[in-house]
Chains A and B, each alone.
Chain A
Amino acid sequence: MIEEDFEWNESKLHLLSNILPKWANDHPQNHLRIGKIQLEAAIKWLKNDSDDIELAEEFERLLNISFDPLMDYEEHQRVKEESLTPKKTSLNWISNWKNIAEKLSISYIDTTSNLVEFRQIRILPNVAPVLLIAHTTHDNVIVIYGKQRNPKEEIDLQTVLRHSYSNIPDGSLQTVHFMTKNLLDLYSQLFSRQIAPEFKTKYIRCLPSLWLQYDIFGSILDKIEKTNRLELLEVSLDEATANWVKRKWDNYQYLCYLNKITGRVRGEVNNHPIFPWVCDFTSENSGFRPLNRTKYRLCKGDDQLREMFSREPSHHVPELLSDIGYMVYRARVEPKENLCRHVRRKWVPEEYPSTMSRMYQWSPDECIPEFYDDPSIFKSRHPDMSDLRFPEFVSSPNEFIEWHRKMLENEEVSINLHRWIDLVFGFYLSVEDSKNALNLHLCFVEKHRRGLRTNGMVQLFYRPHPSRIPLNYNPKLDSYHLQMESFGYGMNVGMNVEKEEENETDENSHFQIFQKIKKVRRLRHKIYFSSMISLMEVMAQIVLAPHLAGRFDDPDHIRQCIRLYTYRIPVNYRKLFDFLLNPKQDFPDCDEFAFFVSIRLNIPTTISSFSEEFAKCVSLHLLRKMDVIPPFSSRSQLILLKEVESLKKSICLCNHMELCVVAAFQQLLEDEEASIQSVHRLMPVITRSLSQSALEDLINPMIELIQCETSVKLLDRRFLMHVSICYGTRTFLDLFLPPIVEACASMNCDRSVVAKESIMWLAKRYGPVISAKFISSNLLRIMASCYEGFELSGLEKEPKSVFGTVLQGDETCSRIESLLSEIVLTYSVTFITVQFLPFCVDLIEQFHKRPSIQLEPGLVSVFRIVELSIRSMSDHQLMNYLEEFIIQKVIYRVLTILLDISFQFSSIRVRNIIICKVCQLLYSITQKIGTENTRIYASQPFKLIFSTFSEIYETNEELRINIRKRSEENTLFEVPLWMVEDVVDKFAKEWGVPFLSSFCDDPAFLIPFVSNTSSLSPTASISMAHSPPSSFTAYSLGNMSSGNRLFSLSASSPINSVSSLGGLSLCDSGSLSAVWCARVSAAVCGVDNYRFDHLSLCNFTGHQERIRKLAAISNENSFVSASSDKTVKLWSIKPELDEIGCQWTYQNHTRSVHDVTILADNSIASTDGVLHVWDPFRTTLLAQMEWDSKEGNGGNIMRIENVDRHILSAICSFHSTVKLFDSRVGGWTCELKVSPGPGLTRALTVRDNGNKMAVALSNGTLAILDARNGKINALAQTNSTHTVSVNWLTDSRLLVCDADECGMFLETNPRAHIVRKLQDPVNAAFLTENSLVTLQNGSMLRVYRNGGELQIETKIRPDELPGTPTAILPLPLNCSYLIGSSHGAIRLMC
């Protein structure tokens, strides 16, 4: 097995030796602090009354003599005698422990003799690691395990088995194999160290991956201090039931017992004991609560329960005792934090019910035992919460408890309690029986739960519970006893022990002699022998978990269960468990035991090799998590790398144990240190090896991780590429893209830079339509988040000058800005005109309607968008949008809002900042368009500004500026004086006062402002020279630098602005053709996708003959085509080109190619009668398959279809079967018969990962089967004998296309019948998410939606596509269609 050696430092050990004595003397808890780390520790004291013999046995198990299968005669005699006289041994306490430490290479401290021995840690994958054994006195022992165990990560095997219905569901034989293999490995790991413990489930811990670990010292530590805490469980369930029925036990005692064996422990919030409510507390004798319905049902009513059942996942009862219920019941005694955590975050003491009767009314949950036995629950520990009031008819909590307990024991309750037990512990829990009783619990139907189940209902009885014997019962009058006996309750099972029949008839029989020798041999190895037996018992408990009824590690009970429930035991295990039933059989030698068992059980090699690989992963994980190496050190990184590497190998091997690797992977995802490394390294292998459902389980943790501020590495394009391939483009765009876009706006510079790079790459990868729909639209929205809080850069709190106001968000925002402009430059200015500007106008409109704090940052981002739009548009385009959009709908509109006090802003500061920003924008616009144009097109905002200014301020005679008195109704915002000064000054400098005054109704107003500024004329004249009104048309690059001065000021990274500046020269280059631009605008405007405009976007030339089939990769930028000209061609869609040649041609086919399809790892399968599977990127042929290995009579493989990610199905012209090809195996895996009758296969279609396959036969039969195991679900007769294709429309509806007859919709459920006939025979059909695209005779393109509604009907004219259309492939994300024709032409149309 695998061991990992390393040193854990010696100084830590000395440190421990110093603190240990104090810890031992103080108050030994089960953990020990050393620095920041908590170590799990156990301390036991040797007492006088400890059973020396048992202890000696335990020591012997740990310190075994070596195993020797041979023995000579003397030894034989010795053993024989020894067995007759039980030996007395003296206990060498200290030296025994010392030996053990030495043997297992565990560090050892003995403070009594000052002995400190340091040893390297050895990790056995299946043994819970132990750091240290220590003594502080002569009669104690301290065992220190690694880090404090995390209750979520290491679960008691008993708990796991109790909830086996969800942890090891019925039939998951592979899981059982895996756990058995674990046990066998454990056995051999210990055996090779000569340890042979008696295995018990209570000393086994289970990791979320179902990996088992054994605590070797558990049993000896328990034996040292004999505890009698399990007393109650000494009674078997049958006996307990009988005790209750016969009134030996009272109700309280029996309920306690039932709670205990279902693993409910007092104080565990989710697993606290449940007691029934029996009365409603309104008065002393108000009657009893009905016990034949749960409290939940009583509280909610039957209708609501039925309603819950009709929803997914269908159940009646979520839980019987919720954490909220528990906390509210115990509100007076639980700390405030707990209450706030579980009940309501806000602390409102009055919300907690104040009296018992209110409590009863409020709660949908059952009661807790405290109300029957603990008076302290009434006394409140919170100063602001009153005590819980007990009903008036009792005078104290003690009296209440006494009364309540009496109520519980009341005869009325006694004779009905069994009904309640049926609902809570009994047979109404089973999925079938619970439906009528409205008692299906959520825990039994919940799917896709994270981790192992540790709480929930546990079913103890599989038959109705017997009722209690009535109080005045006369056995003579009733046949009650008979009934009891017939159910087997109360019968003492253990009594009839078989009598040992020692018929030693023939002393000299050689057979007998040998039997005796064997017996002695077994005696000699009795420790090994009992170890083997106990191991098998653990296995049996795993297999029979649901029937153990909470009783573990009881050999008799296990054996009885094996006898009673044999049908639940898999065949191979039955033979093994025969050894338990009949231990007299010849056992294998203990050194061969593990091998013997694994052969006997026939544990599949896939499982055993997986578990060997996974063991490495677990041990490395343990090593890393033991806290013996500092986290984040290079060493720990090294171990992490190895761990990830071995997990990678395990994933490749995992097969049916996906659950296991997914759990391990999730564990890594949650590990701060490991998450990014592991997800990055494991992504490729996950993509290739895991199944769809396992992948879906991983989506959420993965997205959470991407959202972390620190996960920069995961925003890298190489990783994103894998994610997008793995989950498909649709999921990627919907779920993964938004967090990446958000990351662009991150304050963390690295993160936003990397995200920016990736977004640009994604925009180019997915093309203009998807970019517009998913990327740029999100970018626009996210921009606003940069300005949340309106933090100014620098130390200032308040804005000081209009044109120098720079916000902290400006830098991040400039990255998004440059992204947007890069998208515009790559594709087209259409983005601006149809998306950016409308977005701005829309946002302002929204703000106008309802000003809100959330939208305020949006306003600033709007200015950035406008500015970037202005820069990216050509002069001509700008002039088209300038007046109406930019000036009127944006700037003027915003100014009216800002300057009107009736629009509320969150603060004056924010309003000022926004005014500053809009002025900055206005300035840069005027710079771009020049003075003359400003006067003609953009005068309105200026007029508004200046008239406002003049209305607010007036100048007195000394040129002092004062606030003018205004009327009440005037709602103008008082713009601060510095702002007015700044604005007037700036523009006066640019243009000179005379020009500026032309915007003013009252030019005189300007004078005081202007005169405050020094030398205005020179600058004014210069800028005048720069922008002569007449030169507008020629106005371009040369002046840009000045026009952009402001921008480079505010955007602190000048490179960005330069790069976007550089783009300006390509202004109208936006390389897309007009048709593509139209597509983009249609996509943005949300024009419904169900239209066909007869526009041709691209022309793909190269094929000579008829196109037979088209297939695309999910990213919709690449596709393959199969043609009659014996080739398969690969194409890449490039929006900037009109005519595109193929990227590569596959020429190995010798006949015309019938069908082509793309597999999950993007290899391609094509058939010309012979199936070729090849990798287009490495141009290698992966497999070449004929239908039949025998040459000649093979027949042509006509159709191929994907079944799931790895499996391909194929049909052949001369056969009536379907063959499956597995890309992982690289060959045919099996052949499925389709129907009992004759008939050749014609067409097939598959849906839901192979769940449903439909095959059309030449005799008109249509077979529907499960492609994964060949189970035939239905056979239907159709009249179509020349079916060319079938397609699934919905779960039960098919499109059947015949060569000569019209296509038809066929409903298969419940009986096959034709729902509808189409107008024409269908030549080609393809189903996307919810629409069916068909090509029908006469070049008709018809698209149906929602399983039949005609959406598009149009004729493809020959001038659009040469020849007749023969193949079609919709690209749903791009809302376009690839259409191939009989002449070999392929067009991308929309």
Chain B
Amino acid sequence: MVTSLRSFEQECSSAKDANYQVDRCIDEMTEAIDKHDVDKLCTMWESWNARVFHSLDAEGIKQAQNYEASAYRLFLVQCVQRKNIAKCNEFFRRMSSLTLNNPQWTDWFSFPYNHHAKDTEPFRKYFDKTWIEIYYVSLHNFLSTSLATVSPSVIGTIVEGIARDPLAGDHVDFDEDLIDDFAVIAQCSAPVKRGHSKPSLRNLLKSLTSSKKPSGSTD
């Protein structure tokens, strides 16, 4: 009981920073590659595709597909380098849905049996250490930007909808006119302005920090 509470607290504190999460995801992924764990790797990507990348735009989807393909290819490279052809075959079996009829993968069926793969064109870059480094940094960034744009879950929006004060206005009122001229600012009587604006800003800061319900007297 105590330990579970502690671990829960620990997780909470680490979960606070989204960054950690992304790092942990990539940790897991690299671990799966190192340990030749086809299943884990594929499941990870499947769940990312299903839960994170599902709300990306067309360009993002293409990027995600590229990162995914690269991850599998890095896995294959790792297997071949460790002379674990069985795992390669296991991968192709497991991921037939991805590779079947897919023009991007046609070259790769022969990869495990190609002894000069390191110097042949479509494979070469996956052996390059800097490329791999950059890949992981980019993947990290990609995951973190995607997580930022992921759309809230259904239950989340429902809860939020309940939590929101029904009396408070809908988000921002777009009927407000846009202004782009500082000259109008002075028009609201110059001498009064300074004494007036300061406290109101301070009030606002206070209300932001102490999360008291905002009064309607901010003008």
Contact = CB atoms under 8 A, between A and B. Distances in A.
Interface of A: 169-174, 177, 564-567, 570-572, 574, 599, 602, 604-607, 609, 648, 652, 655-656, 684-685, 687-689, 718, 721-722, 724-725, 765, 1113-1115, 1117-1119, 1130-1132, 1134, 1143-1145, 1147-1148, 1161-1162, 1176-1177, 1179-1181, 1184, 1189, 1220, 1222, 1229-1236, 1265, 1268-1272, 1275
Contacts of A1233: 137, 140-141
B184 A656 contact: no
Contacts of B192: none
B19 interface: yes
User: Top 10 A-B pairs ranked by shortest CB distance?
Assistant: A1270-B141, A604-B151, A1118-B182, A1229-B148, A566-B97, A1236-B133, A1132-B183, A604-B55, A171-B61, A172-B58
17 contacts: A173-B58, A173-B61, A564-B101, A606-B55, A656-B56, A684-B176, A1113-B180, A1115-B181, A1132-B185, A1144-B182, A1181-B204, A1220-B145, A1233-B137, A1234-B137, A1235-B137, A1269-B142, A1269-B145
B157 A609 contact: yes
A605 B153 contact: yes
Given A687-B178, A1117-B181, A1143-B183, A1184 B97 contact: no
B86 interface: no
B183 A1117 contact: yes
Interface string B121-159: 000000000100110111011101111111111101100
A209 to B, nearest CB: 17
Nearest to B45: A571
Given A171-B65, A605-B157, A1134 B183 contact: yes
A1148 B16 CA distance: 28
B154 A599 contact: yes
Contacts of B60: 1269
Given A565-B101, A604-B151, A1132-B181, A1184 B208 contact: yes
Contacts of B145: 1220, 1229-1230, 1232, 1268-1270
Contacts of B130: 1236, 1275
Interface in B20-75: 46, 49-51, 54-63, 65
Given A567-B99, A570-B49, A1233-B140, A718 B198 contact: no
B186 interface: yes
A1272 B134 contact: yes
Given A1231-B19, A1270-B141, A1132 B182 contact: yes
B54 A572 contact: yes
A1271 B174 contact: no
B182 A1131 contact: yes
Nearest to A600: B50
A564 B100 CA distance: 7
Interface residues of B, number: 72
B210 interface: no
Q: Taking chain B's interface residues, is the majority helix, strand, or loop, or is none over half, making it mixed? A: helix
B144 A1270 contact: yes
Contacts of A1113: 180-182
A1113 B186 CA distance: 17
A1236 B137 contact: yes
A1176 B146 CA distance: 32
Contact of A765 (B18, B50, B181): B181
Given A1130-B185, A1231-B144, A1270-B141, 17 more contacts: A170-B58, A173-B58, A174-B55, A571-B50, A602-B51, A605-B156, A607-B55, A656-B56, A685-B174, A687-B178, A688-B174, A1119-B182, A1132-B183, A1232-B145, A1269-B145, A1270-B140, A1271-B63
A1294 B204 CA distance: 41
Nearest to A1231: B19
B15 interface: no
Nearest to A1145: B194
A435 to B, nearest CB: 15
A285 B98 CA distance: 53
B175 interface: yes
B154 A1269 contact: no
B14 interface: no
A1236 to B, nearest CB: 4
A999 B18 CA distance: 93
A1265 B180 contact: no
B180 A725 contact: yes
A1232 B208 contact: no
Contacts of B98: 566-567
Interface string B168-190: 00010011111111111110000
Contact of B58 (A169, A604, A1144): A169
B140 A602 contact: no
A574 B100 CA distance: 14
A1130 B182 CA distance: 7
B217 interface: no
A177 B194 CA distance: 52
A439 to B, nearest CB: 18
A170 B66 CA distance: 14
A977 to B, nearest CB: 60
Contact of B57 (A172, A571, A687): A172
A741 B59 CA distance: 41
A656 B149 CA distance: 11
A172 B98 CA distance: 18
Contacts of B144: 1230-1232, 1270
Given A564-B101, A1118-B183, A1230-B147, A1179 B197 contact: yes
A1372 B171 CA distance: 37
A570 B18 CA distance: 26
B85 interface: no
Contacts of B179: 721, 1162, 1177
Nearest to B16: A1189
Contact of B185 (A687, A1177, A1235): A1177
Nearest to B182: A1118
A1346 to B, nearest CB: 31
A1134 B100 CA distance: 68
B97 A574 contact: yes
A865 B189 CA distance: 40
Interface in B85-120: 96-102, 105
B56 to A, nearest CB: 7
Contacts of B174: 648, 652, 684-685, 688-689
A721 B63 CA distance: 39
Given A571-B46, A609-B157, A1270-B141, A1118 B181 contact: yes
A612 to B, nearest CB: 12
Contacts of B61: 171-173
Nearest to B55: A604
A604, A1130, A1148, A1269, most chain B CB atoms within 10 A = A1269
A169 B57 CA distance: 11
Contacts of A1132: 181-183, 185-186
Contacts of A724: 180
B102 to A, nearest CB: 4
Contacts of A607: 55, 151
Contacts of B186: 1132, 1143-1144
A1230 B148 CA distance: 6
B193 interface: yes
B81 interface: no
A1179 B18 CA distance: 32
A173 B50 CA distance: 12
Contacts of A604: 54-55, 150-151
A1177 B193 CA distance: 12
Contacts of A172: 57-58, 61
B55 A721 contact: no
Contacts of A685: 174
A1272 B97 contact: no
A1232 B141 contact: yes
A420 to B, nearest CB: 24
Given A648-B174, A1271-B63, A567 B140 contact: no
B3 interface: no
